Structure 1
Amino acid sequence: MRTSIIIPCLNAEAYLGVAIRSLLNQTRPPHEIIVADNGSQDGSRRIARSFGAPVRLVGVPERGASRARLAGFAEAEGEALMFCDADDLLAPETLAALVGALEAGEGDIACAPWYRFEQGQGGAWHWAPPSCAPRCAGQDDLSAWLGGWYHPPCSVLWSRAAYQRSGGWDPDLAVNQDGDVMMRGLARGNVLARTASGAAFYRRLPGGGSLSGTARSERGVAARLEVNARIIDLLEGSGRLPRYRSALAGSLERIACDIPSDAEALRTRCADLALRLGNVPDVAQARPRWPTGSGPPGPDPHTRPSIAASANRPDLRVSVVIPAYNRAATIARAVASALAQHPPPLEVIVVDDGSTDATREVVEAIADPRLRLVSQPNAGVSAARNRGIAEARGGLVAFLDSDDEWLPGKLAAQVARFRSAGPRLGLVYTGFESLAADGSRTVHRARHKGWIYRDLLARNVVTGCGSTAMASRAALELVGGFDPALAANEDYDLVLRITRFFEADCVPGPFARYHDGSATEARVSRHAGANRASRRVLFARYGEDMRRAGTAHLFFIASAERELFLAGGTIPVAMRAAARAILSRPQRPYAWRWAATRFLPQLFRRAVSHGASRA
């Protein structure tokens, strides 16, 4: 089954590139991606053309997303159709799951789980639960949709027959076009299949808006009433109106709450539709949700990501980013190890994060045209790395902590991986060696590669990321860089977000040296309190995926291990984490065995010590 993906586009250069990249990164790639452009005046058309096949650009002189979708459909060759907005994203396994459902005959339309994709204050993008109403037990698909449960178009795959049966997109409808086409399709007998795997990400732009607008404006209310009228007509004509009377009445009541008190024509229209349903509550008495004439709050203007979208021609130039805060004693060593790489990096960017020692002076004394010093007030390591990303000119960005160093050949080995891989590759990391204060050396080899998101849901398998990782600009653009809100595990969080959309690769051998002696005692990441707080945030963000993958118990075990290992950790907190691991998968013996081997000897020793002291 060939899949055609249609993207309506108007001045969407800020996000179009990463949207297309997430579609091309599918484990079952689409047959074609049709960008239906409504006359963009920015760089959208150039970005679409830059990808080449299977991306096609179609010019649509008529304005409106629905007209663009119709024009894209007219060009589409596939037996399956998806309509994505220009700022939406898909996890790599999504199309395979959706196509599999259609090919298995599970339904005429398939939909995957979906999430909101939202930007935090620090610029990092994270996913959050759907913003629609929950689905009630016993509801069929049309009743659920009328009740406010829905799937955005980026999570829906249509068979061509199902789409044609729906009647297609209505270019004259102001908003709520997706609800209209879906509910008409369901009212005409299409069957919806829901997949357990895959994930679509519906972007919420800063300020709460999206490229598709809002359904709570006056135009939106009018459109929603029109959609309800159409559904009533269809159900009445097929004799099925009694079955959906309650769901339609609830829908009209919710719409009535969004009608400004002075919009008499809309209120009359709503009441007339309610009368067609028979004995239902008087929607004319519903109270508006905002003061007369004020309307709902509009979205704030959104800012463009700082990194340009990348297409199929890879830029393999490397920018090195070194964040530094009071590292006068070690920064020269780190910089020298980066400048000594062969082939040489395009640039080495040191971001001085408000140092109060001689860090700046040490860097300024290094005479090399590739070295750039950027200064900012102290904002933390994530903000410093993000500043370096924003300054970087290369297509690949490699990170190095200011108290670590690289070994010869690191950049060459990682660039070789990017050169031989396709654009699905977003991250390459290496092994590293730890050098203790007493001179002892421990080697940590890198092993995990491919689609490693599930591995990461159990524990951080990309350790030492702050000095071993190299990421593509496309990956960093999509996820928005590091999250400054995290005091620790910010690298773990970044890798989780990157690997949700991109493959990872590794160079097994040690190519970075991690100085684990007295000079690094100030690392925030080595303190249990910061780790504890950040891991709570990580579980809040990724806990649902951990539970679905069956790895939540392993994440809690890793939390307990860190509590026992890090400075400031306590046995009671570690035991609570172990208890959560057992409760997550009580039937699995691993968590029980782990807890027994870690805690029973310590409890026995305490009991013996307590008995001896009493004697």
Structure 2
Amino acid sequence: MTGSSLLQHTFAYIMSSSPLISVIIPAYNHERFIGPAIESVLQQTWKHLELIVIDDGSKDSTGKVAQSYTDPRLSYYHQENQDAYNTINRGLSLAKGEYIAILNSDDIYTTDRLEKLLAIQQESGAACVFSDVVPISDEGDEFTDPNFGWNLWHKKNRAWYFECKDLLTAFLKGNFMVTTSNLFMTAEAVRTVGTFCSLRYLHDYDYIFRMMLAFPGRVHYVDDQKLLSYRIHSGNTLSEAAITGRLQDVDVIRKYMLAALPEHCRGIAAAGTERLLALRDELEQVRAELAGRTEPSVRERLKLLVAAVRFKLRKKIAGKGRYAKN
């Protein structure tokens, strides 16, 4: 056997004995970003992977860019526009790997992300692993200003996680997983949890709650490593989507707070209720800005005041109930 054929044989053996990781990229109108996203997968230090790119009816050159890559590990599919959650679900149905990861077509993996998360999963037996993230601009520059709005939001969510020491309780305060791009899961876990729901803006948030409820104690947050670059687009503007997203947020929090109450009544109820009240304030502010007002109306202020009073009364009554039992 020649040296080159021995090398090929050794490589083939290593590949066959190593677990296959399936990476799904749902892509829509990201001709500017799809290339770096694909390259961040194909250049992984973990080589035994398949990359499934599904073009969700892009109107630009996203599909052309994706098809320009000749790596045999990449498979390209095109479909009429069906929204992100349906596109991801199609990818799940096509995945052959023992592990499944998702990468949105404008985000970027660090080159060692899959290798590191796989090692953590195999050591911990986790069903799902996600890491901390780096926020980047359209140009790929990191948002390092600590007073940048997203950084303040993410810092607050992480601080609550470190304070409460419970993943599900922390997620009720905010989605510090941030994005579907951050999911690294066993295929077994995906089969158990099922497909993504039809929430346009929060299918990732809903999914991580379902994962935590299906596998208690087996969702692992790698809080000390930033293994994903999450792109925050400068062109994003205030729109009705800001209201829709927050309304969906309320529904998701309410649903999974109630689902978890029998096991974690006090901490979860406190965190979830606080977040719901904060979302109500944000909704009123967004509606006011869309209507051309900078301050809530008198009627809106009264509604907020009544809601706050009711909340305090409920807390007071609940406190009396606890003391009576004691």
2:137 match: secondary structure: strand
Gaps of 5+ in 2: 1-18, 289-298, 317-326
Post-superposition offset of 1:215: 9.9
Residue 11 (str. 1) matches residue 39 (str. 2): no
One-letter code aligned to 1:256: R
CA contact (8 A) 2:126 2:220 kept: yes
Post-superposition offset of 1:189: 3.0
In structure 2, what is the equivalent of residue 205 of structure 1? 233
In structure 2, what is the equivalent of residue 141 of structure 1? 167
Provide the rounded CA distance (Å) in 1 between the counterparts of 2:73 and 2:133.
25
In structure 1, what is the equivalent of residue 3 of structure 2? none
CA contact (8 A) 2:84 2:200 kept: no
Residue 126 (str. 1) matches residue 142 (str. 2): yes
One-letter code aligned to 1:249: T
Q: 2:66 aligns with which of 34, 48, 51?
A: 48
In structure 1, what is the equivalent of residue 53 of structure 2? 35
Provide the rounded CA distance (Å) in 2 between the counterparts of 1:228 and 1:180.
9
Provide the rounded CA distance (Å) in 2 between the counterparts of 1:70 and 1:206.
28
**Residues 245, 31 of structure 1: alpha-carbon distance in 2 compared, 3 angstrom cutoff:** same
Provide the rounded CA distance (Å) in 2 between the counterparts of 1:39 and 1:259.
32
CA contact (8 A) 2:134 2:226 kept: no
In the TM superposition, what are the counterparts of 1:173-322 in structure 2 within 5 Å?
173-190=199-216, 191-195=218-222, 196-197=224-225, 199-207=227-235, 217-236=242-261, 239-260=263-284, 279-280=314-315
Cα displacement string for residues 320-358 of structure 1 (whole angstroms, at most 9, x for unaligned residues): xxxxxxxxxxxxxxxxxxxxxxxxxxxxxxxxxxxxxxx
CA contact (8 A) 2:127 2:215 kept: no
**Residues 242, 188 of structure 1: alpha-carbon distance in 2 compared, 3 angstrom cutoff:** farther
Cα displacement string for residues 528-571 of structure 1 (whole angstroms, at most 9, x for unaligned residues): xxxxxxxxxxxxxxxxxxxxxxxxxxxxxxxxxxxxxxxxxxxx
Provide the rounded CA distance (Å) in 1 between the counterparts of 2:226 and 2:200.
30
How does the TM-score come out when normalised to structure 2?
0.72
Post-superposition offset of 1:162: 2.6
In structure 1, what is the equivalent of residue 5 of structure 2? none
Provide the rounded CA distance (Å) in 2 between the counterparts of 1:244 and 1:105.
25
One-letter code aligned to 1:125: D
Cα displacement string for residues 95-148 of structure 1 (whole angstroms, at most 9, x for unaligned residues): 1110111112342211223110125xxx56235375513333233111111112
Gaps of 5+ in 1: 282-615
1:134 match: secondary structure: helix
Provide the rounded CA distance (Å) in 2 between the counterparts of 1:101 and 1:142.
20
CA contact (8 A) 1:19 1:88 kept: yes
1:279 match: secondary structure: helix
One-letter code aligned to 1:174: R
Provide the rounded CA distance (Å) in 2 between the counterparts of 1:167 and 1:240.
24
Provide the rounded CA distance (Å) in 2 between the counterparts of 1:73 and 1:189.
19
One-letter code aligned to 2:74: V
Provide the rounded CA distance (Å) in 1 between the counterparts of 2:170 and 2:195.
21
Post-superposition offset of 1:207: 3.8
Provide the rounded CA distance (Å) in 1 between the counterparts of 2:284 and 2:234.
26
In structure 1, what is the equivalent of residue 12 of structure 2? none
In structure 2, what is the equivalent of residue 449 of structure 1? none
How does the TM-score come out when normalised to structure 1?
0.40
Structure number with the bigger relative contact order (C-alpha 8 A, sep ≥ 6) is: 2
One-letter code aligned to 2:165: Q
Q: Which has the higher helix share?
A: 2
In structure 2, what is the equivalent of residue 154 of structure 1? 181
Post-superposition offset of 1:63: 1.7
Provide the rounded CA distance (Å) in 2 between the counterparts of 1:58 and 1:153.
19
In structure 2, what is the equivalent of residue 170 of structure 1? 197
2:246 match: secondary structure: helix
Provide the rounded CA distance (Å) in 2 between the counterparts of 1:255 and 1:163.
30
Provide the rounded CA distance (Å) in 1 between the counterparts of 2:90 and 2:59.
19
Q: Which has the larger radius of gyration?
A: 1
Equivalent pairs: percent with the same residue? 19
Residue 72 (str. 1) matches residue 107 (str. 2): no
Residue 101 (str. 1) matches residue 127 (str. 2): no
Provide the rounded CA distance (Å) in 1 between the counterparts of 2:109 and 2:143.
12
Post-superposition offset of 1:197: 4.4
Residue 112 (str. 1) matches residue 139 (str. 2): no
**Residues 150, 30 of structure 1: alpha-carbon distance in 2 compared, 3 angstrom cutoff:** farther
Provide the rounded CA distance (Å) in 2 between the counterparts of 1:243 and 1:182.
19
CA RMSD of aligned residues (A): 3.3
**Residues 241, 163 of structure 1: alpha-carbon distance in 2 compared, 3 angstrom cutoff:** farther
Provide the rounded CA distance (Å) in 2 between the counterparts of 1:3 and 1:87.
20
